[in-house]
Amino acid sequence: MNEEREISKGPIPIDKEVSWDKTQTIMSKTDLYGTIEYANEVFVDVCGYEDYELMAKPHNIIRHPDMPKIIFKVLWDNIQKGNQFHGIVKNLAKSGRYYWVITNFEYSRDESGNIVNYIARRKAVPQDVITKYIEPLYKKLSQIEEVSGINASEKYLIGFLEEQRLSYVDYITKLMVENEKVQQIQQVPQAVIVGEIEDEDEESRGFFGRFFGR
Ligand SMILES: Cc1cc2nc3c(=O)[nH]c(=O)nc-3n(C[C@H](O)[C@H](O)[C@H](O)COP(=O)(O)O)c2cc1C
């Protein structure tokens, strides 16, 4: 009874991060409506729900109230078209704690090429990307939504991305690639990195292929 209430209304968020093994990949598979059909063990461990609590539930079971609606609109607009999509999402665990992930989508299709399932793989996001770029942007989008609704936050997001001359996915890719370069510069002796990094002109597919090990 209690548990049912907790799932339908969602746990009360607390400002603490889930502690999890950030080398792992969280995976889930849904139908076309985002209803969960499969969740891997990492998913179960990180979100804190048992698999029997997740199966046949809408994926918004882990939706965090800090997430602006417009980001999910961009997500669905892209995945319904079968586009290559990467989004950064703050999720809500059963404990009320949060965890940030970056997603990679795959599509399973029938013989006619129609999408029949969505498969999402997620990895942890570097803290700097969240703190410096994503959190401030999402906070602004949520504030706009609260006051003026999703049409206004969509316009703001479009303006923000136009200023960068990037799509949402390209912006996310740029943040990840730049962060990786900074990490390499901090970790590798100067003499080695000069040649390697300056030559590197990575495209979204290349970066995420490596990032998700595919
Ligand atoms: C394969 C797949 C994975 C998804 N993963 C997440 C996720 O990790 N977190 C999340 O909040 N929404 C995720 N969504 C989007 C949700 O279905 C939903 O749109 C979102 O939580 C917003 O809830 P709402 O549509 O009820 O506003 C995913 C959707 C699909 C199809």
Q: pTM for the whole thing? A: 0.89
pLDDT of residue 188: 67
Strand partners, 107: 118
Name the phi and psi angles at 77, rounded to 5: -55, -40
Protein residue with its CA nearest to atom 11 in ligand 1:
63
Asked whether residue 19 carries a pLDDT value surpassing 60, the answer given is yes
Distance 76 CA to ligand 1 centre (A): 9
Contact 49, 137 (CB under 8 A): no
- Whole-number Å distance, alpha carbon 91 to ligand 1 midpoint, is 9
**Measured from the CB, is residue 34 less than 6 Å from ligand 1?**
yes
Instruction: Write out pLDDT tens, residues 25-55.
Output: 999 999 999 999 999 999 999 999 999 999 9
Q: Could you give the CA distance from residue 58 to residue 50 in angstroms, rounded to a whole number?
A: 15
Given a cut of 70, whether residue 190 has pLDDT beyond it is no
**What is the mean predicted confidence (pLDDT) over 72-84?**
97
Name the residue type at position 8. Answer: S
Atom 30 of ligand 1, nearest CA residue:
34
Residue 120's nearest CA partner among 188, 36, 48 is 36
Domain that holds residue 44: 2-125
Q: Is the pLDDT of residue 6 over 50?
A: no
Q: Does one domain contain both 41 and 119? A: yes
Q: What is the CATH classification number for the domain harbouring 78?
A: 3.30.450.20
The total number of structural domains in the chain stands at: 2
Decide if pLDDT at 67 tops 90. Answer: yes
Same-domain pairing of 11 and 109: yes
